[in-house]
Amino acid sequence: MRRPVLSHGERWESGQRETLSLRRESSRRRTVLLVLPLLFAIAAPALAVQPDEVMKDPALEARARSLSAELRCMVCQNQSIDDSDAPLARDIRLFIRERIAKGESNDAVRSYLVSRYGDFILLKPPFQLDTLLLWLSAPLTLVAGLAAVWLARRRQPGATEALTEEEEARLAALTKGDG
Amino acid sequence: MIVELGHFALVLALCAALAQTIVPSWGARIGDPELMAVGRSAALTQFALVAIAFAALVNAHLTSDFSVLNVAENSHSAVPTIYKISGVWGNHEGSMLLWVLILAVFGALVAVFGRSLPRTLRANALAVQGLISVAFLLFILLTSNPFERLAPAPFEGRDLNPILQDPGLAIHPPLLYLGYVGFSIVYSFAAAALIEGRIDAAWARFVRPFALVAWGFLTIGIAAGSFWAYYTLGWGGFWFWDPVENASLMPWLAGTAFIHSVAVMEKRDALKVWTIFLAILAFSFSLLGTFLVRSGVLTSVHAFASDPRRGVFILAILALFIFGSFALFAWRSPMLKQGGLFAPISREGALVLNNLLLTTACATVFFGTLYPLALEELTGEKITVGAPFFNMTCGVLLLAAAAVTPVGFSLAWKRGDLLGVVQRLAVAIVAGALVAIAGTAWLHGGPVLAPIAAGLAIFVILGALIEVFLRVWRPGLSAGVALGRAAGLPLSFWGAALAHIGVGVTLLGLAGVGFGAEAITTLHKGVPQAVGPYRVTLDSVGDRVGPNYTEVATTMTVRSGDRVVASIEPARRKFDAQPMTTTQAGMATLNFGQIYVSIADPSPDGAVPARLYWKPLVTLIWLGGCAMAFGGALSLADRRLRFGAARRSRAAMAAAAAE
């Protein structure tokens, strides 16, 4: 049987089933990042989603998986709760499945979690005023680059002008005459 | 004693670097060839001194001298020898020393091979390179001294982090640093060209091999890191858009743009200002990466603020070199003479487009990595920028850049014929489209990007092969003549073709992810579990003792139908010296794909909770990276680019004239 994951007060119950060593792992992981030179990601040396979490209905399970891939494990460095073995991530995974089993939509579960934890939990930041510059960074850079190329070309007089048809004909006549 | 010698050598290296900075640049200013020549000997001296310091630190680690703080904190007498050595750069102080060592190696390479260069250019470039050394040597000596002693010396060291005790991680940092720091040479030459206000194809010819070396090592370094993450993390992820990864991706993207643009400059004398800009950008991103990883700012803005000494120092270095060079760029680049005109539809034009896409991709990585830090600092608002954001922006831009690749490769210089290129590539375009359509039908309703990436990958690979084929073969040629034509093509052409094929191969591996299968289940002995086209059966569970760990090891058999195709041994490893467990995934390569199994602790009745994956074509991701780097190496071996080639041919011409 699944234990209730959200006690009605303020906090998540921590995962009692996880061993002490697992917990040390995740705090250790944070220190590793400081220590390592330009190292990739952080090691999560255990299972993320565990067999006992999987829902019976594959369609609902697929929904739970896709939702948990969008949510950040908030005690980890840049991992989704789907990939994380931290107790908090497991709690949220179980919470999501509980809500989905009750018939809630993914959007409803997501907005509940955002209301509790803030935008920090979303791996894809929402499009709003304070993320405007972030979302527009790619198009703006591309436009600025294109503008720079266009300006650079304009500064080179005569660089781009192709021959007119008349000139092509004259050129053809001239080269024929040579041959 | 040896440790103190190392420390002393490092101080002397700082003096040599100061001489390397001041004397040749003064010489170049007043036009004194003897002062300029000091740059060479100072660079060589500096290299020798840093090498002595590095050797002293390696020696302290090898002999487990725990009276050295750095050794006591990052080593253990029971650690295998290879990890005693890799432990040298597995920590902040040692890795910075490696950084400076590689910096000095590249400076020494310029000193040795740069004899054919104009004297003032070489003097100025060595001076700038020396200035970078000065900054980082000061950083090490003032904030991160690896030679600090510890009294009383502890009896045993604190052990190297178990995650670092892995062959992949032993070689990953040096490879990455060779790439990162290799771009310093490109930067120094760009700064020297700006100081002189003159730049030409000879500049490009000399800088290009350095850029290729740096880029090749960076490619391999990133691939090695990604492969390490894949097999250690326990769920087969290979790229996480983690800030630390992004820190290495940004110089790679800028560097990729640079090696293309410098090729245009060498062949066509065009894109000079742009090439200089990219040279500065590539190394600026290397510095930014160093700052991000070394300052602790990534973990939290507050961690940075609580111990700001190192962070602020690197930030100052960053500001000096980035703003300094861009100020120089803004001031001097208008003086550079433009040459080599070209039409928009031409190979140059395609390269400009490709460069635009790569730099934009680089900018999105930059914004995505730093935006959350900036936002938190300014407003206190915490947001996360994760994989979905980067896939939507950077991923799409890189797909577009890959799509341009075969077109640019087939276009002619100066003025190309787009319709002709489309005809040339017709087979590749049709094949790519068919693959994309078939993939979409296969996945019906699954990931959208995967089939598109697969189609593009086929287009890129076939496009490069077609170009090779058309250059070699004409109707009516005999096989012997065709082979002769193939041998006659320049190595840089073969290198480019191979690197482009590598791009396609990596893309194909990435696309394969969308076609994979996964099973999360509890395995019981003898009961097969299907995953993708294979079945996995748990055979045994047992304990095993290693040199400094014990592990729970399982054996499993992989079957295709009834045939046994592989056996794997996923394990969980517990280390003696640290309360830490790591997962050793069981992997078997089958047709470039992998069966990948990771386990949790077995229950008392011998059942094993496990995640099983079938990852089709996944090995192509890293094989493609190797192909790219090997392509770079081939290009490097091209006769035209060999060091001193210009001098030798000049000498030959002089000899011929004398006859």
| CB distance A70 to A80 below 8 Å | yes
Select the residue from A38, A50, A71 to test the B interface by mutation, using most B Cβ atoms within 10 A: A38
pLDDT for the residue B555: 92
Give B453's Cβ-side CA count (13 Å radius): 23
Which residue type occupies B576? D
pLDDT for the residue B300: 57
pLDDT for the residue A7: 33
Residues of B in contact with A80 (CB under 8 A): 386-387
- Nearest-by-CA chain B residue for A79: B240
pLDDT(A159) > 90 = no
Contact A21 B581 (CB under 8 A): yes
Lowest mean pLDDT among A31-45, B132-146, B301-315: A31-45
pLDDT for the residue B341: 76
Highest mean pLDDT, choosing among A42-46, A132-136, B453-457: B453-457
SS3 content of chain A, % helix, strand, coil (to 5): 55, 5, 40
Residue B543's SS3 state is strand
Q: How far apart are CA B407 and CA B404, in angstroms?
A: 5
Which residue type occupies B168? G
Q: What is the DSSP string of B447-495?
A: -SHHHHHHHHHHHHHHHHHHHHHHHH--TT--HHHHHHHHHHS-HHHHH
Q: How far apart are CA B185 and CA B111, in angstroms?
A: 11
Distance from CA of B246 to the nearest CA of A (A): 9
Q: How far apart are CA B196 and CA B600, in angstroms?
A: 62
Q: What is the DSSP string of A113-145?
A: HHHHH-GGGBSS---SGGGHHHHHHHHHHHHHH
DSSP H helix total and E strand total for chain B:
22, 10
| CB distance B95 to B61 below 8 Å | no
Residues of A in contact with B388 (CB under 8 A): 70, 123-124
Q: How far apart are CA B399 and CA B454, in angstroms?
A: 11
Contact B388 A124 (CB under 8 A): yes
Mean pLDDT of chain A: 69
- Scan residues 128-157 of A and list those with Cβ closer than 8 Å to B: 130-131, 133-134, 137-138, 141-142, 145-146, 149, 152-153, 156
Select the residue from B242, B245, B261, B597 to test the A interface by mutation, using most A Cβ atoms within 10 A: B242
Q: Which fold has domain A20-121?
A: Helicase, Ruva Protein; domain 3 (1.10.8)
Residue B533 has a CB neighbour count (10 Å cut-off) of 14
| Cis peptide bond upstream of B152, omega within 30 | yes
DSSP label at residue B552: E
pLDDT tens profile A78-94 = 778 888 777 888 888 88
pLDDT for the residue B357: 94
Give B173's Cβ-side CA count (13 Å radius): 26
CA neighbor of A27 nearest in space, from A37, A11, A42: A42
Q: B142 — contact with chain A (CB < 8 Å)?
A: no
Contact A138 B521 (CB under 8 A): no
Written as six digits, the tokens of B626 are 């190797």
Contact B356 A48 (CB under 8 A): no
Mean pLDDT of chain B: 87
Residue spans per domain, chain A: 20-121, 129-178
DSSP label at residue A5: -
Q: B384 — contact with chain A (CB < 8 Å)?
A: yes
Across the A:B interface, residue pairs with CB atoms under 8 Å apart total 217
Q: B374 — contact with chain A (CB < 8 Å)?
A: no
pLDDT(A46) > 60 = no
Confidence band, pLDDT 50/70/90 cuts, at residue A22: very low
Written as six digits, the tokens of B346 are 């031409």
Cβ within 8 Å of residue B278, ≥6 positions away: B254, B257, B258, B261, B355, B359
Mode of pairing for the β-strands spanning B593-599 and B563-568: unpaired
Contact A40 B235 (CB under 8 A): no
Q: A173 — contact with chain B (CB < 8 Å)?
A: no
| CB distance B179 to B217 below 8 Å | yes
Q: Is A20 exposed, middle or buried (0-12, 13-18, 19+ CB in 10 A)?
A: exposed
Identify the helix (H) or strand (E) that includes residue B132.
helix B119-143
Residues of B in contact with A45 (CB under 8 A): 163, 232-234, 572, 580-583
Lowest mean pLDDT among A123-127, B291-295, B516-520: B291-295
Confidence band, pLDDT 50/70/90 cuts, at residue B308: confident
- Scan residues 94-123 of A and list those with Cβ closer than 8 Å to B: 118-123
CA neighbor of B289 nearest in space, from B252, B251, B247: B247
| CB distance B70 to B148 below 8 Å | yes
- Whole-model pTM over 0.90: no
Cβ within 8 Å of residue A104, ≥6 positions away: none
Q: How far apart are CA B246 and CA A176, in angstroms?
A: 58
Residues of B in contact with A131 (CB under 8 A): 371, 375, 383
Distance from CA of A109 to the nearest CA of B (A): 18
Highest mean pLDDT, choosing among B458-467, B569-578, B596-605, B637-646: B458-467
Distance from CA of A38 to the nearest CA of B (A): 6
Q: How far apart are CA A80 and CA B333, in angstroms?
A: 45
| CB distance B401 to B361 below 8 Å | yes
Select the residue from B383, B417, B524, B601 to test the A interface by mutation, using most A Cβ atoms within 10 A: B383
pLDDT(B611) > 50 = yes
- CA dihedral (B584, B588, B591, B593) positive or negative: negative
Instruction: Compute the average pLDDT of residues B314-328.
Output: 90
DSSP H helix total and E strand total for chain A:
6, 0
CA neighbor of B249 nearest in space, from B631, B633, B635, B625: B625
pLDDT for the residue A55: 79
- Nearest CB to B244; choose among A19, A33, A121: A33
Contact B371 A134 (CB under 8 A): yes
Q: How far apart are CA B205 and CA B522, in angstroms?
A: 60
| CB distance B538 to B527 below 8 Å | yes
- Angle (CA) B433-B239-B224 rounded to 5° is 105
| CB distance A81 to A68 below 8 Å | yes
CA neighbor of B298 nearest in space, from B384, B238, B358: B384
Instruction: Compute the average pLDDT of residues B359-366.
Output: 93
Q: How far apart are CA B251 and CA A130, in angstroms?
A: 27
Instruction: Compute the average pLDDT of residues B316-337.
Output: 87
Q: How far apart are CA B320 and CA B324, in angstroms?
A: 5
- Nearest CB to B173; choose among A30, A37, A70: A37
- State the distance between the two ends of chain A, measured CA to CA, in whole angstroms: 92
DSSP label at residue B395: I
Q: How far apart are CA B146 and CA B184, in angstroms?
A: 23
Give B190's Cβ-side CA count (13 Å radius): 33
Contact B244 A48 (CB under 8 A): no
pLDDT-above-90 percentage for chain B: 43
Contact B344 A160 (CB under 8 A): yes
Q: A172 — contact with chain B (CB < 8 Å)?
A: no
Q: Which residues pair with B587 in a beta bridge?
A: B596
At B386, give phi and psi (nearest 5°). Answer: -115, -165
- Nearest CB to A141; choose among B176, B363, B598: B363
Q: Is B527 exposed, middle or buried (0-12, 13-18, 19+ CB in 10 A)?
A: exposed
Q: Which residues pair with B590 in a beta bridge?
A: B593
pLDDT-above-90 percentage for chain A: 4
Residue B338's SS3 state is coil
Q: Is A101 exposed, middle or buried (0-12, 13-18, 19+ CB in 10 A)?
A: middle
Confidence band, pLDDT 50/70/90 cuts, at residue B117: confident
Contact A37 B95 (CB under 8 A): yes
Residues of A in contact with B163 (CB under 8 A): 32, 43, 45
Select the residue from A25, A35, A40 to test the B interface by mutation, using most B Cβ atoms within 10 A: A40
pLDDT(B359) > 80 = yes
Which residue type occupies B36? M
Q: Is B32 left (phi over 0), alpha (psi -120 to 50) or beta?
A: beta
Cβ within 8 Å of residue B560, ≥6 positions away: B533, B534, B535, B590
Distance from CA of A8 to the nearest CA of B (A): 25
pLDDT(B159) > 90 = no
